[in-house]
Amino acid sequence: MKILNQLTTQFLHCFAPETAHHLAIKMLRHLPAQNVLSDIDSNIFSQELLGMKFTHPLGLAAGFDKNADVFDKLGQLGFSFVEVGSVTPRPQPGNPKPRLFRLPEQQAIINRYGFNSEGLDYMAQHLQQYPRTCITGINLGKNKETTNYADDFLRNAEVLCTLGDYFVVNVSSPNTPGLRDLQTPEALAPIIDGIQDIIRRKKPGLPLFVKISPDMTVPQETALLEFLITKAVNGIIISNTTLSREGVEGSKNAAEAGGLSGPPLKERTTAMLRRAYKITQGKLVLIGCGGISSGLDAYEKLRAGADLLQIYTSFVYHGPLVIRKILVELAELLKRDGVKNVREIIGHL
């Protein structure tokens, strides 16, 4: 299994990054997916949040399965939750290629995909066609050309409401002009109110998350978090990719435009989680995302206040076995500290 994982990952890295991404999706669709977690201690990891039962805290972040092509296979590999999208109402090609870059020295990625999406109807069809093998979230985006931004989020929500286990409003991708400007109370209010209305009508209780950027000033971030508490959203994903190039200076692709992900994002997002936990005090579910590739990274994020974790870049560099590696290492750290269930350490610095 380990050798197969290594060979497949090395094979994919022989191709240009975006070709490798498409190939990985094709392989997942057509090959049997083997669960890498058969012997993991589930008691230490299981938790129920917002009516959803998580077998462990590790999920796949948005942007890998943009069109819900393989979410069932990703669940079979061992993720406890998978987030599909970001989806846009109408199909759109995204930015011109090349738009995905590896920074191998830092095991990081810069992407400026710009919401390449097959659109809402395609995603809806796939969500109906394939079985849900783990908790499946739907990450909502907007078309580049739409000026009445709230309309796009609401159109997505209306059609997809009954087809997933939670929604995410993504107002934090750096590659869609103006999207991050929606991270203010005034701009977000109509989106959140509208989606909450749709949820009340179509699937009461469906959890709603907002995914935020790591590039706000602390006062902007605080204002946003306080607003999200008043709006009674269920959780926050911390965070999307960064425009900062801290930690990758001098690297070959560092000057490419786009969002940076992977280890250089880790400390920034952990610090952000700590601040968010202080403000939200357990009232909202926090999903920690950014540079997690080991059990220690996961442990730090949980102690900073994350209830759940997501990965993307470490999955690209290390393949499916990284899920197992992170959880085995995390379980060792928990046992070392005499912890019986992961919830005991959340927010305990």
Ligand X SMILES: Cc1cc2nc3c(=O)[nH]c(=O)nc-3n(C[C@H](O)[C@H](O)[C@H](O)COP(=O)(O)O)c2cc1C
Residues lying near ligand X in the complex (CB under 6 A) are found at: 61-63, 66, 85-86, 100, 109, 111, 113, 139, 170, 173, 211, 240-241, 261-262, 265, 289-292, 311-314
Q: How far is the CB of 91 from ligand X (least distance, A)?
A: 14
Q: How far is the CB of 10 from ligand X (least distance, A)?
A: 19
251 is catalytic: no
- The CA distance from 317 to 247, in Å, is 18
DSSP secondary structure of 262-277: SGGGHHHHHHHHHHHH
Partners of residue 49 on adjacent β-strands: 52
Which residue, 191 or 339, has its beta carbon nearer to ligand X? 191
- The CA distance from 33 to 26, in Å, is 12
- Residue whose pair of structure tokens reads 């393989």 in the numeric block: 70
Which residue, 111 or 253, has its beta carbon nearer to ligand X? 111
User: Would you say 292 and 314 are in contact if contact means Cβ atoms under 8 Å apart?
Assistant: yes
Q: How far is the CB of 85 from ligand X (least distance, A)?
A: 6
User: Would you say 222 and 278 are in contact if contact means Cβ atoms under 8 Å apart?
Assistant: no
- Residue whose pair of structure tokens reads 């590999």 in the numeric block: 77
Which residue, 91 or 339, has its beta carbon nearer to ligand X? 91
For the chain, the residue count is 349
Indicate the burial class of 53 (C-beta count within 10 angstroms; 0-12, 13-18, 19 or more): exposed
Which residue, 155 or 211, has its beta carbon nearer to ligand X? 211
- The CA distance from 101 to 179, in Å, is 22
Beta strands of the chain (E only): which ranges? 47-49, 52-54, 58-60, 81-87, 100-103, 108-111, 135-140, 166-170, 208-212, 235-238, 259-261, 285-289, 308-311
The active-site residue out of 86, 117, 173, 261 is: 173
Q: How far is the CB of 231 from ligand X (least distance, A)?
A: 19
User: Would you say 120 and 136 are in contact if contact means Cβ atoms under 8 Å apart?
Assistant: no
Q: How far is the CB of 226 from ligand X (least distance, A)?
A: 22
Give the strand pairing for 47-49 and 58-60.
Answer: unpaired
Q: How far is the CB of 233 from ligand X (least distance, A)?
A: 15
Which residue, 281 or 324, has its beta carbon nearer to ligand X? 324
Which residue, 292 or 327, has its beta carbon nearer to ligand X? 292
Number of CB atoms found within 10 A of residue 287's CB:
28
- The CA distance from 55 to 66, in Å, is 24
Name the residue with the smallest CB distance to ligand X.
63
Give the strand pairing for 108-111 and 259-261.
Answer: antiparallel
Q: How far is the CB of 341 from ligand X (least distance, A)?
A: 24
Which residue, 157 or 336, has its beta carbon nearer to ligand X? 157
Mind telling me the catalytic residues? 173
